[in-house]
């Protein structure tokens, strides 16, 4: 599939069948994160695969955004590894983790799976349910699974600002 076609086809899926995702497909999605470009190739992205009833129940206590997905990828970065810009100390871990997350979502689409980036979660509850070291910062949850037959993009999926509003040539 042409890349632009793939990018346009990917949408935030909010209706999953609940069918478990095969380990081989999860592995391919994770490989997409592994090959993501990162600042100085330090690869600070950290992905936690959550599946099964116990883990999904824990996730559901942290967010009201659940759509019958069988798997959630908890995406973060390790601030002891991430590159910091020398001029102002900006930590690029969040940028690197976001690039990895984007590649995972596109690979999932290529594999016939759906995803939805969840930013609406309670970080305090997430930390209680999934205790991680202090140097790990979670930036988002990505739901992963098979779309139902009647799943479709939200009405605003294809709405875009004009190119001229987004781009300025200097």
**What's the CA gap between 118 and 141, in Å, rounded?**
5
Per-residue pLDDT of the chain (170 residues; tens, 9 = 90+): 899 999 999 999 999 999 999 999 999 999 999 999 999 999 999 999 999 999 999 999 999 999 999 999 999 999 999 999 999 999 999 999 999 999 999 999 999 999 999 999 999 999 999 999 999 999 999 999 999 999 999 999 999 999 999 999 99
For 4-22, what is the HEC assignment? HHHHHHCCECCCECCCCCC
pTM over 0.85: yes
Sheet strand arrangement including 71-78: 45-51, 71-78, 136-145, 114-118
Q: What's the CA gap between 49 and 75, in Å, rounded?
A: 9
Q: How far is CA 16 from the centre of its chain?
A: 16
The three-class DSSP label of residue 84 is strand
Asked if 141 contacts 73 with a C-beta cutoff of 8 angstroms, the reply is yes
Length in residues, the chain = 170
DSSP class of 142 = E
């Amino acid at each position: 599939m042409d890349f632009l076609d793939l990018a346009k086809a990917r949408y935030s899926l909010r209706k999953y069948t609940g069918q478990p995702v095969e380990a081989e497909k999860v592995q391919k999605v994770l490989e997409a994160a592994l090959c993501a470009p990162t600042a100085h190739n330090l690869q600070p992205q950290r992905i936690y695969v959550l599946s099964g009833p116990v883990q999904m129940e824990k996730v559901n206590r942290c967010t009201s955004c659940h759509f019958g997905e069988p798997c959630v990828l908890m995406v973060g970065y390790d601030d002891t590894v991430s590159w910091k810009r020398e001029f102002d100390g900006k930590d690029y871990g969040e940028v690197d983790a976001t690039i990895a997350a984007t590649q995972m979502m596109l690979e999932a689409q290529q594999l016939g799976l759906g995803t939805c980036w969840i930013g609406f979660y309670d970080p305090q509850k997430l930390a209680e349910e999934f205790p991680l070291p202090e140097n790990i910062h979670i930036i988002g949850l990505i739901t992963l699974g098979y779309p139902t037959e009647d799943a479709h993009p939200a009405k605003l999926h294809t709405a875009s600002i004009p190119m001229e509003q987004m781009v300025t040539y200097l």
